Structure 1
Amino acid sequence: MTVRFEAVGNQFMLNGEPIRIISGAIHYFRVVPEYWKDRLLKLKACGFNTVETYVAWNVHEPEEGQFCFEGLADLVQFIQVAGDLGLHVIVRPSPYICAEWEFGGLPAWLLRYSDIRLRCSDPLYLSKVDAYYDVLIPKLTPLLCSNGGPIIAVQIENEYGSYGNDKAYLEYLRQGLISRGVDVLLFTSDGPTDSMLQGGTLPDVLATVNFGSKAMESFAKFREYRADEPLMCMEYWNGWFDHWMEKHHTRDAADVAAVLDEMLSADASVNFYMFHGGTNFGFYNGANHIKTYEPTVTSYDYDSPLSESGEPTEKYYAVREVLQKYVDIPPISLPEPILRKRYGEVRLTECAMLLQQLDSLTSKSSGINPLPMEKLGQNYGFIVYSTWVSGPRHGQDLHLQDVHDRAQVFMDGSYIGSVERWNPQPIRVHVPESGARLTILVENMGRINYGPLLKDYKGITEGVRLDNQFLFGWDMYPLPLSKPVELDYAPIGKMNVISNEPAFYRGTFEVDAAADTFLRLDGWKKGVAYVNGFNLGRYWERGPQKTLYVPGPLLRSGTNEIVIFELHGAIDPVVSLEDLPDLGSTTAVEQEIISFSDTEEV
């Protein structure tokens, strides 16, 4: 049945009847497909009538011209499941999504075009958006409410006023949606400041605002620009995300409920960002850069009403209690709890040293200068640079100019130090008279997802020098490592595991019934974990996150495989699979963080 959803004066209308949108964000690409229905049922049971999702371009076009809409990327199936459950859907397919997601959702291959200008009317950039939309939008149009589907509204661009003011660009995107058949309500979303509302909106397109507190103040600013439109907070930040080397953020449930009550009392609609955060699986975490580079952790729990593994929290019930004051909600009916299990310790019994097997792992490229990943056709993972240094040299400083994001440096195979983007200290080196082989392993820890520094090339981006002398003539080994690679493993008992040497560790464990579990890596330093070939994401002893979420559907009855790529060597290669998460020590989200300013969203 065709549905008409529109903004009429200060009210949303559905088929001519007033409606308040109570929406929650769930990103399909952060949740295994087997759990989409569970999370959506819990959204509905909380009293919500709508689900909102971003659409991540880099998930759907991982390589230029190669498209993926399967598995975690099956956007159509996610929307259909929501519709089958009676939920409306808001889709935000902006080329850029922020979302603490790698490169704000933009595909890394865009950076292979050196002169491209992002998020503006640059013809090259727009041609790439058009090619993507030519594939994406026809998948969405049958799901529009005007065609009997659940999609009631579509976003044009995301928080554009926080980045630019190119109205021709916004209009181009708008017309691109319309010309491809999108005939439902279009909207923009921005922070409630003068510059953001001026730069990010179009005069005849619905505007919405994003904030975490000070609702009346935010809506008052919005009203200065839009006196006769519905009030809607498109992103109500009811929690917050975490960076490595910081504490885990939480926000008091009573505070979240109070701000929601304030919004609803003003007859506003709302979209919870996030209702269920999920996980930055693989290498898809983003990063911020305000004063320095800050990479986001693997978990995207966000202290949401539903935890990372889908359990209702205290915040869930506090929100539902407020909603009962404003909308009719049937008695709560939740799906059966998902089984969680402790499988115990797993000893990894085999090991393969990375640097000893480089030539069998990847194709070598050679060049005068060390090139960033993108120039070698690589998007994510790691890259090794190697060159010969003549000797003797005594007490010279090795400078990596500039490393994005973290490098381990070896001289003739021996570790001599690490260089980190946020603390780029030189390394003092000594080269014997016979010379030495300099090898540098660089980790891409996630591209910046917000702000003016989006063009975030990875690897060594400028050059390497000893004191003021640049070193030329490099071999380069791309290591995407999106999944475990074929290696010659040896039993750990027959080899000497060397501290600070990057290596792969492999082991197995038995499962009788597959259940959710949490991989704990006490004693490990830094690296990436894989279960049955699936990249769970990064771990790091600096925290805050101490466990990695392993959804039950990734496991199978019988024998299961764990591979750990550890950058600094594991003296005792044992992990454990626990039944409880550990996201680290906490800090309360401060109100000034939740309030929108010109430096947010950070």
Structure 2
Amino acid sequence: MSNLSISGDQFLLDGQPFRLLSGALHYFRIVPEYWRDRMLKLKACGLNTVETYIPWNLHEPEEGRFYFEGLADIEAFVRLAGELGLHVILRPSPFICAEWEFGGLPAWLLADDNMQLRCDYKPYLSKVDAYFDELLPRLRPLLSTQGGPVLALQVENEYGSYGTDKAYLNYLKEGMIARGMDVLLFTSDGAEDRMLQGGMIDGVFATVNFGSRAKESFAKLREYQPTGPLVCMEFWNGWFDRWMKPHQTRPAAEVEETLDEMLALDASVNFYMFHGGTNFGFMNGANLFDEYEPLVTSYDYDTLLDESGRPTDKFYAARKIIEKYVDLPPLELPPGIESRAYGKVRMTECAPLFTQLDALSHPVRRSCPEPMEKLGQAYGFILYSTKITGPSSGRELILQEVRDRALIFANGAYIGTVERWNPKGIPLEVPAEGLQIDILVENMGRINYGPQLRDPKGITCGVRLGYQFLHDWTIRSLPLTDLTGLTFVPDGDCDERLEPVFYRGSLHVDEPADTFLRLDGWGKGQAFINGFNLGRYWDKGPTKTLYVPAPLLREGGNDIIVFELHGVKEPVVSFVDQPDFG
């Protein structure tokens, strides 16, 4: 049984001086078969600790239904770290940010219009309590005080960037203590006055997050916490990508310089990230400051291991600096994971969306459009349909507060796209016999950081023709969690359709290896392999490929489904052996 304590300005582990050298690995962004590989590489870099967030929305996708299997098996992840001789830092706070959908909060919270988030609001706290009652007893046997590898837990995440509610922070702290979390509790905030003032609480160890200027950041922490070890809980050595923006990179030399500066101050550090991984499915987050900016599927982060787990220049640069301060054994990496280019695959079958609605959803009737959360839906797409009476001329169809991107069809013909960041009206001429309107809305990721955290999806206010609201809607939830009911026809029946279509093909594999799905000539949509949702693609970039880990493949035939929103001239995809970040 180990115990991490604080003596003066240093950590003690079992009474001996100890420096946390940690790296972030998110179990939920890595297929479980690769957890060991990533941890061994973390250890080979000279790190002694692995850190991970715990996303509430992964573990309680529907209220009262808890999930801890596969990608969500946090207990197996922590036990594996311990078996490999690594310590663990867990961040189980209700909110995690992490560029993850809704910052880890479950979408079903937004079904209540009155719900207040991240504050001392009893209905919210009751939901947190129910989650903690399920999660924390699972973590208790893994704590170092119980013989496990977990040394510390985070109370809340960068709360000072969001609010000032000390009663809320103390409620979380006391809730953790009451449930037996008897290891070091900590907060992490940016190294600014307002952030530390808002995020720190009495009796909880404070850490700071930054990417450069270590001396200045630690000096600011010292103003608020005069003694104790210096800890950078998030050393931002790379950054994340957003759709329609350039690929983000940071030179290894800058990372090397800042790391050296920290270690020279006898500080502890957690690399955020050590290995980023992938936002599989619909789980990317979004930012909203001047405009809504959704994140891409890849969470490569330009960090020490790339998206597929290969060491980068930053890995070797970081190890070189760590060796200045710690005696390390010779570098020994686990066997490399092969990647292969399987070549082109023609999608031989298709299923137009509007012919498959009954296989994918059940219609509900509402007077007004309602957002996903009101219908019990978290992710994916939602379809709103109504009939407009005619004649009508000279007016525009207005989607009031659409979130986030809508394709509009009149009598089955595509007539335009409305985007949250470009909320234009669509001119609409309605003939005397009226017009059928279908609006397919895509949730491109809930906001994960900042004051605009509340982010319901779909049509969140209403639809107007000119100044007149339209009523009597049929709504279909399309989370795309089960595509087994689709009925496919030969792909020639869907040639150049300007409507959403599911395309299906088969990839033959003699021996599974990592690969990257490339969708040149395709517009925007989702890709699935053997029923697993790989994530979003979009020709606007910056990313041009989707990572396919080998464990998702099988020997022989592999079922590929691509849900294309805008149509494709030639339904051919390719599997290459290298990623492309544009």
Q: Smaller-chain TM-score range?
A: over 0.9
Aligned residue for 1:248, secondary structure, equals coil
Query: Shift of residue 432 of structure 1?
Result: 1.1
Partner Cα separation in structure 2 for residue 292 and residue 308 of structure 1: 27
Report the AA paired with residue 301 of structure 2.
Answer: Y
1:474 aligns with 2:480: no
Partner Cα separation in structure 2 for residue 356 and residue 393 of structure 1: 29
CA contact (8 A) 2:509 2:558 kept: yes
Report the AA paired with residue 542 of structure 1.
Answer: K
Alignment match, 2:565 = 567
Aligned residue for 1:274, secondary structure, equals strand
Partner Cα separation in structure 2 for residue 329 and residue 95 of structure 1: 37
Alignment match, 1:590 = none
Task: Map 1:205-284; keep pairs closer than 5 Å.
Answer: 205-284=204-283
1:509 aligns with 2:507: yes
| Gap change, CA 1:342 and 1:483, over 3 Å in 2 | farther
Query: Shift of residue 229 of structure 1?
Result: 1.5
Alignment match, 1:169 = 168
CA contact (8 A) 2:360 2:482 kept: no
CA contact (8 A) 1:484 1:530 kept: no
Report the AA paired with residue 540 of structure 1.
Answer: W
Partner Cα separation in structure 1 for residue 59 and residue 495 of structure 2: 40
Report the AA paired with residue 508 of structure 1.
Answer: S
CA contact (8 A) 2:360 2:480 kept: no
Query: Shift of residue 426 of structure 1?
Result: 0.7
1:19-51 CA-to-partner distances (Å, cap 9, x unmatched) read: 111000000000000000000000000000000
Partner Cα separation in structure 1 for residue 484 and residue 28 of structure 2: 23
Partner Cα separation in structure 1 for residue 532 and residue 360 of structure 2: 18
1:146 aligns with 2:169: no
Alignment match, 1:599 = none
Report the AA paired with residue 111 of structure 1.
Answer: L
Report the AA paired with residue 237 of structure 1.
Answer: W
1:290-329 CA-to-partner distances (Å, cap 9, x unmatched) read: 0110000000000010000000000100000000001111
Report the AA paired with residue 503 of structure 2.
Answer: Y
Aligned residue for 1:36, secondary structure, equals helix
1:499 to 497, 500, 511: 497
Query: Shift of residue 498 of structure 1?
Result: 4.1
1:578 aligns with 2:538: no
Task: Map 1:284-323; keep pairs closer than 5 Å.
Answer: 284-323=283-322
Alignment match, 1:9 = 8
Deviates more, 1:397-406 or 1:2-11: 2-11
Unaligned runs of 5+ in 1: 585-602
Task: Map 1:176-187; keep pairs closer than 5 Å.
Answer: 176-187=175-186
Aligned residue for 1:174, secondary structure, equals helix
**TM norm structure 1:** 0.96
Partner Cα separation in structure 1 for residue 38 and residue 401 of structure 2: 42
Report the AA paired with residue 226 of structure 1.
Answer: Q
1:414 aligns with 2:413: yes
Unaligned runs of 5+ in 2: none
- The ranges of structure 1 where at least 4 consecutive aligned residues each deviate by more than 6 angstroms after the TM superposition are none
| % identical equivalent positions | 63
Alignment match, 2:426 = 427
**TM norm structure 2:** 0.99
Partner Cα separation in structure 1 for residue 538 and residue 422 of structure 2: 17
Aligned residue for 1:217, secondary structure, equals helix
Aligned residue for 1:149, secondary structure, equals coil
Report the AA paired with residue 278 of structure 1.
Answer: G
CA contact (8 A) 1:549 1:581 kept: yes
Length, aligned pairs only: 582
Aligned residue for 1:324, secondary structure, equals helix
1:365 aligns with 2:364: yes
Report the AA paired with residue 522 of structure 2.
Answer: W
Query: Shift of residue 178 of structure 1?
Result: 0.6
Alignment match, 2:89 = 90
Alignment match, 2:547 = 549
1:449-473 CA-to-partner distances (Å, cap 9, x unmatched) read: 0011111000000000011011011
Alignment match, 2:99 = 100
Alignment match, 2:193 = 194
1:546-573 CA-to-partner distances (Å, cap 9, x unmatched) read: 0000000000001111000000011100
Alignment match, 1:527 = 525
Query: Shift of residue 485 of structure 1?
Result: 4.3
Query: Shift of residue 483 of structure 1?
Result: 4.3
1:469-495 CA-to-partner distances (Å, cap 9, x unmatched) read: 1101100010001343411110013x1
CA contact (8 A) 1:371 1:459 kept: yes
Query: Shift of residue 204 of structure 1?
Result: 1.7
Partner Cα separation in structure 1 for residue 55 and residue 26 of structure 2: 9
Partner Cα separation in structure 1 for residue 232 and residue 545 of structure 2: 33
Alignment match, 1:397 = 396
Partner Cα separation in structure 2 for residue 179 and residue 527 of structure 1: 46
Query: Shift of residue 496 of structure 1?
Result: 4.0
Partner Cα separation in structure 2 for residue 377 and residue 497 of structure 1: 35
CA contact (8 A) 2:392 2:429 kept: yes
Partner Cα separation in structure 1 for residue 47 and residue 358 of structure 2: 54
CA contact (8 A) 1:483 1:530 kept: no
Partner Cα separation in structure 2 for residue 215 and residue 501 of structure 1: 52
CA contact (8 A) 2:352 2:494 kept: no
Query: Shift of residue 499 of structure 1?
Result: 3.4
CA contact (8 A) 1:483 1:535 kept: no
Partner Cα separation in structure 2 for residue 359 and residue 282 of structure 1: 22
Report the AA paired with residue 515 of structure 1.
Answer: A
Partner Cα separation in structure 1 for residue 359 and residue 388 of structure 2: 24
Query: Shift of residue 339 of structure 1?
Result: 1.2
Alignment match, 1:81 = 80
CA contact (8 A) 2:400 2:462 kept: yes
Partner Cα separation in structure 2 for residue 565 and residue 327 of structure 1: 50
Aligned residue for 1:280, secondary structure, equals coil
